[in-house]
Structures are given as C-alpha cells and as structure tokens.
Structure 1
Amino acid sequence: MKTEAILDAAAGLFAGRGVNAVGMGEIARAAGCSRATLYRYFPDRHELHVAFVQREARRIGGLLPTDDPVEAILAALREVRARPELLAWFGAADAGTTAELAQSEAVVGMLGDGETARWLVRVIVSLLIVPGRDETEERALVERFVVPGVLGARR
C-alpha cells in the first residue's frame, strides 16, 4: 500500500462528504487496507490531512505561472475551485480545520519566506472561504491590496 493510494482514497471521500466528516476507518476501507496499515503511514487524522494538503499544494504550485504573482494567485483559486476534493476544505464545516492547517509550518514552510508566505496563504484561503463576486473583482482585490502590500518589493 502506498501513501498516494491512501491520499487518493481520502480525496474521493473528502469530495463526497467533506473533510471533517470522514474518519480514518472509512479512508482505510476506501483505500482497500486495514486501519493498522493506514496508521502505519499516518499516525492520526491530522497527519493524513497535512500530507494531503502538502501533496495538493505541490501539484497546484507546479501548475502556476511564476512570472506574474496576480495570475499565480488567481490560477491557484481556479485550480482549487475546479476540484471537489480541494473545494471541500473551504466549506463552512471544514473552514476551521483548513484555517488552522493553512497557518501551520507544514504548509507555510513549503512556500519559503515566513511572513510573506503566511500572508499569501491567508489571502488565498480567505478568497476561497469568502469569494468575490467574480474573478474580475478578485483580480482587482489582489492587484490593489496584495501586490502593493505583500509583493510590491519583489516586482
């Protein structure tokens, strides 16, 4: 049994039921393994959540443009919104878990510079939990507030 198969099984369950509604036993069954096997790979649900978020952050990060921070943020939003297993993390029942995990070093540390990374994660999580009316409004918000305040020195 590979961790990828377990995370894939979890993804399907997250998409269908939400993140916090899914137990480790359900994930083990969906992955076709025992709970003991699952716990060898992931000692608890939090560790499974961290591994899932890190995997998906790496996947999305590999798809983003690197030359335009506004486009990168908007592309990240589009990618999450297009995938039910990711969008599930931003519903009302799971937003608290997402916010806590998003600010953890396990996630922020993947992005580099602590303060800037922490702020960018907050912006993206905020826009996923409380979206703008449309992408045009979100682009305007990112250009007006994020770029000058967080990324201005890098441009």
Structure 2
Amino acid sequence: MNAEQILDAAAGLFAERGVNAVGMAEVARAAGCSRATLYRYFEDRHALHVAFVQREARRIGALLPTDDAAEAILGAVREVRARPELIAWFGAADAGTTAELAQSDAVVGGLGDEETARWLVRVIVSLLIVPGRDDAEERALVERYVVPGVLHDRR
C-alpha cells in the first residue's frame, strides 16, 4: 500500500459521493488498508485533500501547452470537467472546500510565480463553479480579459 493507491481510492469515492461526504474510514476501506496505514500517509482529511489536489494539478499541468495561455487555461477546465473525480470538487456541497484549497500555499506554491498562479487558479475555479454559456463564450472571456493579464505579468 502506498500514497498513490490511497489517492486513487479516494478519487473513486469523490466521484461517487462528493468530496466532503467522504471520511477517512471510508478511504481506508476503499484502499484496502487500515486506518493506521492511511494516517501514516495523511495526518487528516485536509492533508489527504491537499495531496489529491496537488497530484491532479501536476497531472493536468503536464497535459497543457506552455506556449498558449488561453488554451492552457481552457484545457485545464476541459480536463476537470471530463473527470468525475475532479468535477466533484465543484458541486455546491464541495465548492467551499475547493475554494479554500485553491488559494492555499500548499496548492498554489508549487505552480510557478505565486501571484500569477493564484490569479489563474481563481479564474479556472470560477469557470468551473460558474461556467460560461458555452465554450465560445469562455474562450472569448479568457482571450480578452485573462490572457492580457498573464502576458503583462511576464514582461
């Protein structure tokens, strides 16, 4: 048993039940380990959540282009929407937890320039919680308002 297997088990539960509805005992059962083993890897539910979000942010980041800011932002949104274990974080019951984690140093700290990362995470979370009417509208908003800010930050 390792941390990745536990996070995989948690992912399945998040997709089925939502993030805040899943307790540590349930994660341990789904992972096939004892609660003691689970707590060796993650001191509490918050630590489990942070580790899960960090892992998924790295996975999604590896899939995105580095030379097209709009496509990177919109690609991140598409990836989250396509994965039940990730979109679960943006439902009404879980959006507060997501918003708190999205701005935490533990999550944003590893994403490059901290100020720009915080801003981009806010944009992505916003699009996931309050989506545009369609893909075209979201693209237009990102290209008009977000990309100029990102490019300005790089000068």
Provide TM-score, normalisation by structure 1.
0.97
Partner of 2:19: 19
Unaligned runs of 5+ in 1: none
Whole-angstrom CA distance in 2 between matches of 1:16 and 1:3: 20
How many residue pairs end up in the alignment?
Answer: 155
User: For residues 32-74 of structure 1, what are the alpha-carbon distances to aligned partners after superposition, in whole Å with 9 as ceiling and x for unaligned?
Assistant: 0011110011000000000000000000000001110000001
Q: Which amino acid aligns with 1:65?
A: P
- Aligned-residue RMSD, C-alpha: 1.0
1:2 and 2:2 are equivalent in the alignment: yes
Partner of 2:49: 49
Provide TM-score, normalisation by structure 2.
0.97
Q: Which amino acid aligns with 2:74?
A: L
Provide runs of 4+ in structure 1 moved above 6 Å.
Answer: none
Deviation at 1:150, TM superposition (A): 3.1
1:28 and 2:28 are equivalent in the alignment: yes
Whole-angstrom CA distance in 2 between matches of 1:96 and 1:139: 25
Partner of 2:86: 86
Unaligned runs of 5+ in 2: none
Deviation at 1:147, TM superposition (A): 1.2
Deviation at 1:95, TM superposition (A): 0.3
